[in-house]
């Protein structure tokens, strides 16, 4: 798989469809802090989005969509200066999964949320701004618009298999938003490497064989660059040297196996490229701040807690 698919697969995204919002006239709504990553798409009208801690609001028009990646409180409004009502005021009275404000008619928004059953979401979203805004005019938006229209239909209808359909559509939208944002911005971190064709070749090779004893020279060769130029470029874009990134990726793979399997720690250590269990335990504790077995028990307890809720 390619690096973005690798990371999304490791995150194991699960989507939860929230209520739509149908609003009319002048309005402002205040939303509390939230778990996961919020996805919203404006199907009709326009609004301003203000996220706590961000200096400027962002205007979102019909056909645009946006991700809220930090879980902070935020506001939606026709005018950022308007006094806001609490979201619960109208969402607690939502009918057929659509909340109505001021009688509706002028504005319609679809909302969803992504949770991650696998690796921490920060693996992906720490490289993104608090608001990821994708405009309707962006190239390749046809796929996204189709998914939005289908998701709107799933909100209105209670057809058989609707939950599964909405879940898959929401994940398609997440991936497409990330693709469009990568094509229109200058991302940093490992997402920046994905946006760089030469670095992508090295990153793809590294992800394909994480247990291999890579050297910087070998990775530079995959990128078609000199060793020095590659090392400097990788560090400038990703924020860390190539082999440090490799070590971090190995830890993510190891953590995933500890969460999702009963494999012995030694087997996991060898599978991700460590020559001894001792070296792996030391590296794991340095990065994850606990031993592999402590991590496994902690994740098992967390999963049980979520199951019983």
Pick from 21-25, 89-93, 221-225: least confident: 89-93
Q: With contact defined as beta carbons under 8 Å apart, do 58 and 133 qualify?
A: yes
Domain boundary assignment for the chain: 3-185, 191-308
pLDDT in tens, 100-110: 999 999 999 98
Q: Of 32-41, 223-232, 286-295, give the range with the top mean pLDDT.
A: 223-232
pLDDT at position 59 over 90: yes
**36 within 8 A of 114, measured Cβ to Cβ:** yes
- Asked if the model's pLDDT at residue 185 lies above 70, the reply is no
What pLDDT score was predicted for residue 17?
60
37 falls in which pLDDT band (50, 70, 90)? confident
Whether 114 has a pLDDT exceeding 80, the answer reads no
Averaged pLDDT for residues 86-103: 90
What is the reported pLDDT for 14?
67
The 10s digit of each residue's pLDDT in 187-204 is: 777 788 888 889 999 999
Task: Assign domain 191-308 to its CATH superfamily.
Answer: Homeodomain-like (1.10.10.60)
Indicate the pLDDT class of residue 29, thresholds 50, 70 and 90. Answer: very high
The answer to whether residue 67 scores a pLDDT higher than 70 is yes
Region of residue 25 (phi > 0: left; psi between -120 and 50: alpha; otherwise: beta): left
Among residues 278, 299, 118, the alpha carbon closest in space to that of 269 is found at 278
Output the CA torsion sign for 176, 181, 183, 184.
positive
pLDDT of res. 246 = 93
At 104, list the tokens: 């509706």
What are the distances in angstroms from CA 305 to CA 16, 116, 258, 297?
19, 15, 18, 12
pLDDT of residue 156: 64
Across the strands, what pairs with 230? none
255 contact partners, CB below 8 Å, separation of at least 6: 119, 288, 295
pTM: 0.74
Residue 201: per-residue pLDDT: 94
Q: Do the domains 191-308 and 3-185 match in fold?
A: no
Whether the per-residue pLDDT at 215 is higher than 90: the answer is: yes
The CATH H-level superfamily of 3-185 is Regulatory protein AraC (2.60.120.280)
Per-chain mean pLDDT for the chain: 85
Q: What is the pLDDT of residue 179?
A: 79
Residue 53's alpha-carbon distances to 74, 85, 137, in angstroms, are 9, 19, 28
Residues in the chain, total: 309
Q: Give tens-digit pLDDT for 242-268.
A: 999 999 999 989 998 998 899 999 999
d(CA 247, CA 206) in angstroms, rounded, equals 11
Residue 309 has pLDDT above 60, yes or no: no
pLDDT of residue 308: 55
Per-residue pLDDT, 99: 93
pLDDT on residue 80: 94
Chain segment 115-172, per-residue pLDDT in tens: 776 666 666 777 788 898 888 766 566 777 777 677 667 666 767 777 677 767 767 7
């Amino acid at each position: 798989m390619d690096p973005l698919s690798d990371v999304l697969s490791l995150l194991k995204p699960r989507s939860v469809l929230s209520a739509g919002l149908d609003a009319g006239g002048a309005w402002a709504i205040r939303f509390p802090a939230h778990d996961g990553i919020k996805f919203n798409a404006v199907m009709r009208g326009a609004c301003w989005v203000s996220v706590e801690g961000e200096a400027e609001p962002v205007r979102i028009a019909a056909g645009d969509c946006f991700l809220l990646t930090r879980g902070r409180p935020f506001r939606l409004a026709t005018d950022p200066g308007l006094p806001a009502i609490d979201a619960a005021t109208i969402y607690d009275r939502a009918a057929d999964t659509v909340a109505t404000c001021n009688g509706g008619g002028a504005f319609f928004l679809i909302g969803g949320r992504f949770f991650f059953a696998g690796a921490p979401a920060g693996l992906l979203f720490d490289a993104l701004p608090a608001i990821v805004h994708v405009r309707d005019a962006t190239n390749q938006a046809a796929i996204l618009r189709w998914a939005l229209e289908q998701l709107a239909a799933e909100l209105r209808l209670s057809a058989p298999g609707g939950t599964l359909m909405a879940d898959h559509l929401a994940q398609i939208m997440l991936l497409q938003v990330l693709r469009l944002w990568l094509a229109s911005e200058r991302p940093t971190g490992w997402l920046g490497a994905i946006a760089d064709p030469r670095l992508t070749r090295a990153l793809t090779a590294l992800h394909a064989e994480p247990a291999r004893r890579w050297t910087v020279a070998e990775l530079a060769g995959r990128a078609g660059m000199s060793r020095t130029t590659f090392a400097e470029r990788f560090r400038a874009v990703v924020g860390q040297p190539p082999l440090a990134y490799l070590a971090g990726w190995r830890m993510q793979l190891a953590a995933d196996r500890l969460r999702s399997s009963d494999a012995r720690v030694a087997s996991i250590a060898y599978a991700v490229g460590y020559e001894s269990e001792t070296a792996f335990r030391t590296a794991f504790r340095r990065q994850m701040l606990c031993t592999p077995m402590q991590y496994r028990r902690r994740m098992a307890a967390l999963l049980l807690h979520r199951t019983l809720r």
